[in-house]
Structure 1
Amino acid sequence: MDIMARGRVLSILIVILLMPVFSLTISASSGSMISAGSGGVAIVGLPAHEGDNLIFSSLIHNEGEDSGSVRLSLSIPDGESIVGDEVFIEPGSSREVQAIFTLPFSGQINVTWEIISSNSIVSENLSGISSISVDEPQNLDVEIIDSSWTLADGLDLSFRSILEEGRERQVSIEVSGISGSDNVLLQRFDAILSPGMRHFTLSLGSPEISSLLVTITPFEWISDSVASDQIDVSMPIISGSIEILSLSPEAPTSGDSVSVEVQITNTGTDPIGAGRIRLISLSTGIVLEEKSTSSIPNFSESIETLMIQSWPEGNPVDLRAEWISNEMVSEFEISVISNIIVTTSDTEIPWITLIVGAVSGILVAIALRSANKGRKSSVGRNLKKNIAPVKKNVEEPEKREVNCPECNRALLVPYSYSGRARCAPPCSTEFSVSMEVTEDENPMEEDNDLEEIEDEQIESEEDTLIARSNDDLLDCPSCNQVLKVPLSKRPATARCPACKIEFKALEGV
């Protein structure tokens, strides 16, 4: 028993003594990892902000006889450990070992790092602690500057990004169009932003949208705000108008040269290109005048003058002005009262003299009637003889001719008129006219003959047409043709050139 016990103890002692030898043999046949550089780890991504990804890396050399693999492990107090990808290193080679660490908060962070291996010996100096100062997240914003939409160029958008001081950042930029409840992606691209402002200008074509939305999204980093901006847009509106402002002269005569002032206005949101203005007679369709126009900017106007060489006949003259361009057509119509020359009488009617003469004639007739009552039988015998001359006198014109002593022009005055008369322009000479008594007149007329003459005179006065107005224009009482009879010449006798009717032109309503 003692011999067996002693043998077992001896075997154990031999194994214990040989273990270092076996260990040296294993170490010599495995990988041995040491630092290939100055030691420690390198950190990529500083200065750091909350949410940033930092890259920890270390250059490792395998000085062993066999291949081996290593990893980089990172950890923070009260946090999870992060282990990088496994890297295989051949004997005598060096390779970089990395691990990515996302900063969970701002402030001072101590990161513990260590090179680990499952099949190789790792040097004791391949571990340590790195202290990192972490700033708050960078602020990112976007601002739409302007938009313009024309038929020629489509929709253009100008905006700028604003990045707070810190690192350059990679972002994704999206421009979307909104139409009702639909959101249409118009453009999307990536960009690298430097701290500060950066301007962008995009051409977006002609989409059917009512507003634009610009969104900038951080790529592999975080921001403390959402970067987006929106603006309403509208498709270009082509709208213009034309208006005749004035004519010179205002009431032209047929054949006159007439200056027409026209205003064209661009009331839309898009410029109106070069075109032309035309003045057209609606009754004949003839183009009276035409003129070219230059481009009109949006919300602008231009006044053009066109000269019609020969004013058309008619009263009124219906005129149409047209503004024609590649983008639009605008029209304006107007009726112009033409100036029609009418014949007027400048001779003032001596109403007082006529009334006095009529009253005198009536008084004389009454006196003669009283004086002839005693000779009734004699008058009765001559009655038939006197009727014929009286009727003859009634049928004759109520006026007689007198000659102007200056220019010998024949003028018409009432038979019973006695007083001053004035020759028509341009003579306008005044002269005296005496009452003319014919041999056929019989002072012994009967009362019924005088009454018949007076009745016919009243009927003649009632048949005279009269037109009144408070301005230089009035309507013919027969055919409603518009005529021009100046107020300064009224009362006057006018002759309508259309229906040839004469009427009295008076002032008033």
Structure 2
Amino acid sequence: MGRRAWRGLMLAALLIFISIPVQADGDGIGIEVSQLPAFLDIDANPELHVYVQGFGVNATAELQASISDAEGQLVWSWGQNVSLGGADTAVLVLNLSTVPAGQQQLDLALIGHVLVSNSTHVSSASVSVQRDRPLSIGIVTASSDRVEGLSVGGEPNGEDPIDADRLAWFLTVRNFGDVPWNGTLAANFSQGTMQETVERSVNLSGMNTSELVLSTTSSWEEGLVEVQALLMGLNDADMSDNALHLNVSVGPPLLPSLVLTLQRQNTPEVPGAAWGHILSLSNVGLASWSGQVNCTWEDGSLHASVALTANVSETVEAFVQGPAKDGVLTCTADGPRVAGDSQGTAEDTLAMSTAQFEVVAGGEPVPLDGPWDVGDQVRWSAVVRNIGSSDGTVALEVGDGQDVHASESIELGPGEASELSLSHTLTRSGDVVWAWSLVSNDGSLMTPGGNSTLLIQASPTLSAAIDAVRLDADHGHVVEWNLSVASSVSREVTLDVGHGVPGAWTWASSSTLLLDGNALTGETHLGWIDAENVAVRGSPVAWTHDGGPLLVASQIQPARVDLELTLRPTTVPVDPVAGDSTTLVVDISNTGTAPSNPVTVRLVSSGEVLATANIDAIAPGEVETESMAVSWPEGSLVGIEAVLVHDEERAVSQVSFQVVVPEVESSLTVPWAGLALGIAGGLVLLGVETIRRRASSTSTPDRSSSSKVEPKSSSKAPVPSAEKIEVACPACDRKLRVPSDYTGAVRCPDCRERFDVEAPQPAEPQPTEQDAVEVLETPAKIEIGCPACSRALRVPADFNGRVRCPACKHEFSREEAK
């Protein structure tokens, strides 16, 4: 039993002992033992019910309740009086919500007229009570300030973090109460613009402590890193320890520590002679070193340079040599960072008579030929004088970072002066700072180098546009253009204007123009061109435009000459005669958009040129009509073609002329003269036929003997006429009747079309063409005009077919006729 329990029992016994004198045997008030709990969870029910009973006469007592700490000090108490008669009972209620947190022993005692304790009722008792400590989680600051670096494997290395390390923060979290807590601890790491948040789950039972390690995935640079920890979403009794803020120092990386020494190998006597040294470089640090050892004179000029690498605890040597001059030579190890105790510099001094150079006339070079744009040339000029006692060479050097330019070296004797100049192209815009210095291998530089700032505008921008392309009646295609340049100065541009297609332009005009800040407009006459595009190209002259020459193009309507040639199918006279002069009419029209050149029209028949005519230029939309006289060729069907050639294109119009003998039209008037002439001709033909037949029928076996001539009939016996058949005219479908035994040509009396018919069997004698055709009927006829040549034709009034003109061979319907 603990010390605390013994003290409670002793206190109860003392109280009982004190109460003995005031109690009566068998009488008094007692606590009912069976109603007292052995343990009470105050958080579940803060009230304790104490049942008391009186015995005997009326009795009065006080119920006292108390809690003492481990040292016996009273920390909580309560009391209440009660009076009871014999067999009376009462319930005393104790509110324990204010008792101290933790597990306690509550002591109960009746003071006054009390019953002697027995097995069922007592005058004093103890009850174990429990009141949980409230939720109280906090970060233990004293043990949460340790931050280490992480090894390559991601484990804390036990060392303070250094540059490029990842971090591990050790945090201690404690539960000061009896209530368990499950939550999240978040840590934020911040350095400049870099931040990282790491979270860990926390599970803490009552009155328990846990250490958490929060590691970053990022590497941190040398310097301070701000770290903050926060118990997320915690609302407990003490909020002051729910967060922690620290600044962690990240140390420098492992660094090399260098020791540089310089050992002279010779002592030159004249400026410019070779001066050699042995460099010795030792690394006594914690990391390897690789860099450049540069040896320079006090005027800033370079003497020699060598690349070296020294591992940890290693010494390397190198021989360096350069031109000698009067002054101090300093060699310095330039490269990665070294420890603060490094000795990376060594010196040597040489005294001799030497040249000394200074810049006069302002003390610095002067930039010329400004203002400047990117791509322009800047020329630097400096007047340099030798104020030393020996001859020497010197040059001017100008640089912008890695872009370094140097002039030609010149040699100056004591007291002499001369100009140094150099030119170079400017490659970037803005306020560019150029570092300049004199350079000499055998002389001292009395004027230190300096800086000169040039305001350089962006690259000149050339703009070109085609405002319009128009067709001019006199000049053909006219291109209206404008050019402009965004530049600090005026600039020359070559302007080319042409036509064609991309990649195959024909430049018809070229000129050089001077552009200033204002736009320049103009126009170029290209003439009548047969192209679908025109182009304008601007090419910088002695300056640079981004992307090279600027070319713009525009679509246009091609200006083409389109000559159409038409030989009219009419002649003057209408029925030409071979060998006679006949006039033909030719129409030449220009349906294109450009005027033509002068052309020659030829009339040709069977390869023979009948006539030529020279035609002047024809404007677009105009028609030239030319009448040409020819000697009419032989033949009944004459083909004539009109030919012209323009720009290697040939135009032809061909017409076939049918030479026709005009026929006399029939009428109701009897042609007595013609009838008499026909009868006379028929009698002559009949007589000739009779003589021929008589001669062939006379037999003369013996011409010497005379014979008697038999008398003959004075007239020919009538020949029965052959049966007639119907044929259709192929031109107008007119029905004609011809003898069935007729073979030969037939002419339609309506459309004058000639066509051939063939008899199934030949018959003697053949009727003539004029007699072969017998018209079945003679319907009424009307006169129509050929729409091509206006030739008058007669056709039946009820005819609705197509007709072929015998003059121009043009086929047409009655609806198309004039």
- Judging by fraction of residues, say which structure has more helix: 1
- Judging by fraction of residues, say which structure has more strand: 2
Tell me: higher relative CO, structure 1 or 2? Use CA pairs within 8 A at least 6 residues apart: 1
